[in-house]
A = this chain, B = another copy of it.
Amino acid sequence: MQFQKDDIREKILAASRETFLTQGYGKASMREIAKKAGINTSNVYNYFKSKEELFYAITDPVFHHLANLRKEVFEYKANKDFKNENFMQQFTEFVPSAMFEMVKKYRKELLLIMDSSKGTKYEPLKKMVVTTMETNFTENIISQENKELLQDSFLMHILAMNLIEGILEITRNYKNDKWVKSNIDSLMKYHIRGMVQFFT
């Protein structure tokens, strides 16, 4: 009697993923989700107590993954007596492979939390991730003298966003794992090289 329940639960989750993804959280309707899942609208509420909870049931895991990732990056920095070489190592090895793992594990969920979360508590998440990345870049790439010159460089913000959006676009167009990995690597390399040249 447990496998049946999970069956439907899974159907609801799948239907939700698709619906939230195409319509966004706000425009997605419980009706449509229920119809896609092949059940009565009110029955959805036997599984998830609200539209919002349903959304979080899908997106919470990737959120926690992101939070852990952030922590790991900070620990990485703290442990490594952070110099330029280590930074390079971080952004050519650790970060891209971490991104890859995340995309591999949470494809749709990542897109949901980043692109379709308007109206939920995760709405500001993308901006926060971008800001974190931007700070990291600024601290590690821009040389001391340039820091004063390029104070408040908006370009760095754009590039951080570009990197995130690039990863998301790769995710949206997922072909296979190898394809993802290679594209993340290229993108990363492209931007790291570009930033180093531009800001130093």
**A interface vs B, CB < 8 Å?**
23-24, 26-27, 118-119, 154-155, 157-159, 161-162, 165-166, 169-170, 173, 179, 183, 186-187, 190-191, 193-194, 197-198
Interface of chain A: mostly helix, strand, loop or mixed: helix
Q: How far is the CA of A159 from the CA of B24 in the complex (A)?
A: 25
Question: Cβ of A186: which chain B residues have Cβ within 8 Å of it?
Answer: 155, 198
5 contacts between A and B (CB under 8 A): A23-B26, A26-B27, A27-B119, A157-B169, A158-B170
Residue of B nearest to A195 (CB): B190
Q: What is the total number of copies of this protein in its complex?
A: 4
Q: With a CB–CB cut-off of 8 A, which chain B residues contact A154?
A: 170, 173, 179, 183
Report the Cα distance A77→B170, complex, angstroms: 30
B166→A161 contact, CB < 8 A: yes
Considering the chains assembled together, what is the distance between the CA atoms of A13 and B179 in angstroms?
A: 45
Q: A26-B24, A197-B193 are in contact. Are A187 and B158 (CB under 8 A)?
A: yes
Cα–Cα, bound, A179→B158 (Å): 14
Q: How far is the CA of A157 from the CA of B166 in the complex (A)?
A: 9
**A27: nearest residue on chain B (CB-CB)?**
B26
Residues of chain B within 8 A (CB-CB) of A26 are 23-24, 26-27
Complex contacts, A173 vs chain B, CB 8 Å: 154
Q: A157 — which chain B residues lie within 8 A by C-beta?
A: 169
Assess whether A165 is in contact with B161, with CB atoms less than 8 Å apart: yes
A191 vs B65: C-alpha distance in the bound complex, in angstroms? 31
- Note all chain B residues with C-beta closer than 8 A to A169: 157-158, 161
List 6 additional A-B contacts (Cβ < 8 Å) besides A26-B27, A154-B173, A158-B187. A23-B26, A27-B119, A157-B169, A158-B183, A161-B166, A165-B165
- Closest chain-B Cβ to A101's Cβ sits at a distance in Å of 19
Cα separation A173 to B127 with both chains bound (whole Å): 13
A150 to chain B, nearest CB (A): 10
List the 9 shortest-distance A-B pairs measured between CB atoms, nearest first: A162-B162, A194-B194, A158-B166, A26-B27, A155-B186, A154-B183, A165-B165, A158-B169, A190-B198
